Structure 1
């Protein structure tokens, strides 16, 4: 989908103060030495303890508004993205964010696409900004707190991830901003839906003892009983590359034109083999080098990385950025941005 007249006005990010290195996690028996020696390159996880994910989303949104000339009262649309449950069953997360911001009467939606959520939310917001809704601005928020007995942040998502807590926000505008959204495309590969479900029941929780979720157990079941891993990876490669190519074509760009490729913060080899090599680009054009320090914050990675690039003087007007994510389902979204200017709030000394 080629997009015209859609801009990134501001971004916001919330990173908890407390972090645990992989070495400390190994010492405490939380992470295994093999994963470190295996060479994932991941260095730490940020931990929010008892701070709710939604409060981090609100903090990130407030920062985005402080950086913008748009007032909260002028907000036209809101999308919130989740990977894990953000409150009691039946609870509506976007309503909490909007209430805390003081944005009453704003239409909203909840996107549950896990790591793919922020880009999926941007795609929805583009429709509001360019379609019949006639919105002038839209807020997309995301946040995660993986501190839960049902989640193992160190090994529950496989050796390629350390799950970090954090919040993020992207404020989009139809009037202007520091970056133009050139294209957004997405797709679903339903043949792999069961990959992240295994043999689990589709019925709601019935009261039996619940255990911590293990993505690796679900994947292993699917690969053993339904489809081998090499076939899954082949399908994902072709599917995701097609989504990316559609966005590049819509933006009128070649892969060589990209200054940065922003992918989910994960194992360096995963990013290299699934994102960079298919595009013929070196890892030096990926955001992995600092993403490994943050860990994987679910849908937040895209905005957190963009915030980092801006605050650390790593962007210039004219730079093209590809953002690409995927998640269980199997869903994938890609977006292409072009930097128009460096906003005033980002013209400061580098920060970590």
Structure 2
């Protein structure tokens, strides 16, 4: 999906709580062994002992609006995404976020797409802005808090640890002001048959947490692999990851070996999962360097995609005109790749 020359990410922010759980703590508690530590490749995880998931999302949203130097009235649509409990049942966290950032009359969406939801929200926001030129800007937020007793951030899934955070991005049609990124293109690929992986061996239940007292994503995945083997998912994932990269780069009007493509930011999964599913495709398809930003944050649920955009801006040595890719995926299953560019106007600003 090509977006033209003027669709911009004004800014992107990540809000982390101050407390942490270190990997040594998880080992001491008997949640991880030495092999688990190596497979995860983590030093620790941000942990919220006070803030709910939507409160962290709202904090990131306020930071984004402040960083942009905008009035909240510029925001015409708010899209909030999450994968885990938001603090209340039968409640709308997107409306909370919109009100908390000062945009109570914005059009509000909740986007549910697993851990890929922020990428899909970015795509939906782009379509909205193209369809409604007078809408102003779109605010995309994510927020998750993986707190007990409903979840164990170290053991609820294979190959990753869950960190707490809120993230936010402001998408708009470019004006004369500076922007973090030009959004050149975005491509997605879905294999909906893989939804079975997340529920295999479990009947449909009548109420939340009926299958176990805490979220256990390992059990249905193990059941699925026993029935179908690992190769089925690995093959589909590799093919889909390759396709979204190739499609996104093509839609941006680029070649895969374009020297302006400097980096691709990978999801904040464990080292073993990245090496098994993402790195082989990167090495085969791109000359760009693959970056992994999650060693000190773990997997942020929906937040990986936007947090990676923020870290590319702040931690990667990019110049005006340079291009980066961000890739993500979410159960079960959609993969997305975005192509972003440091705006060319920044070169003129630096020379003034």
Q: TM-score, normalised by structure 2?
A: 0.89
SS at match of 2:296: helix
What is the CA-CA distance between 1:200 and the residue it aligns to? 2.4
2:335 corresponds to 1:332: yes
2:86 corresponds to 1:86: yes
2:224 corresponds to 1:192: no
In structure 2, what is the equivalent of residue 350 of structure 1? none
Check the 8 A contact 1:255/1:279 in 2, yes or no: no
Check the 8 A contact 1:3/1:183 in 2, yes or no: yes
In structure 1, what is the equivalent of residue 52 of structure 2? 52
In structure 2, what is the equivalent of residue 138 of structure 1? 138
Structure 2: runs of 5 or more not aligned: none
What is the CA-CA distance between 1:61 and the residue it aligns to? 0.6
Aligned pairs, number: 340
Check the 8 A contact 1:56/1:166 in 2, yes or no: yes
Q: Deviations over 1:97-119 (max 9, x none)?
A: 01112212211111112210111
2:256 corresponds to 1:255: yes
In structure 2, what is the equivalent of residue 34 of structure 1? 35
Alpha-carbon separation, structure 1, partners of 2:249 and 2:211: 47
Alpha-carbon separation, structure 1, partners of 2:277 and 2:256: 14
SS at match of 2:73: helix
What is the CA-CA distance between 1:284 and the residue it aligns to? 8.3
2:292 corresponds to 1:285: no
What is the CA-CA distance between 1:206 and the residue it aligns to? 7.4
Q: Deviations over 1:263-288 (max 9, x none)?
A: 21122243244223213268982221
Q: TM-score, normalised by structure 1?
A: 0.89
Alpha-carbon separation, structure 1, partners of 2:183 and 2:209: 46
What is the CA-CA distance between 1:179 and the residue it aligns to? 1.2
Structure 1: runs of 5 or more not aligned: 348-352
Distance 1:313 1:185, change over 3 A: closer
In structure 1, what is the equivalent of residue 238 of structure 2? 237
Distance 1:332 1:206, change over 3 A: closer
Alpha-carbon separation, structure 2, partners of 1:39 and 1:210: 26
SS at match of 1:62: helix
What is the CA-CA distance between 1:169 and the residue it aligns to? 0.2
Alpha-carbon separation, structure 1, partners of 2:41 and 2:18: 21
Alpha-carbon separation, structure 2, partners of 1:161 and 1:283: 27
Distance 1:21 1:254, change over 3 A: farther
Alpha-carbon separation, structure 2, partners of 1:321 and 1:182: 10
2:273 corresponds to 1:274: no
Distance 1:284 1:319, change over 3 A: closer
Distance 1:315 1:111, change over 3 A: same
Check the 8 A contact 1:13/1:307 in 2, yes or no: yes
Please show how residues 87-236 of structure 1 align to structure 2 within 5 Å: 87-132=87-132, 134-158=134-158, 160-176=159-175, 177-205=179-207, 210-225=212-227, 227-236=228-237
SS at match of 1:182: strand
Distance 1:15 1:284, change over 3 A: farther
SS at match of 1:248: helix
What is the CA-CA distance between 1:224 and the residue it aligns to? 1.7
Alpha-carbon separation, structure 2, partners of 1:78 and 1:318: 29
Q: Deviations over 1:108-139 (max 9, x none)?
A: 11111221011111001010111246423100
In structure 2, what is the equivalent of residue 71 of structure 1? 71
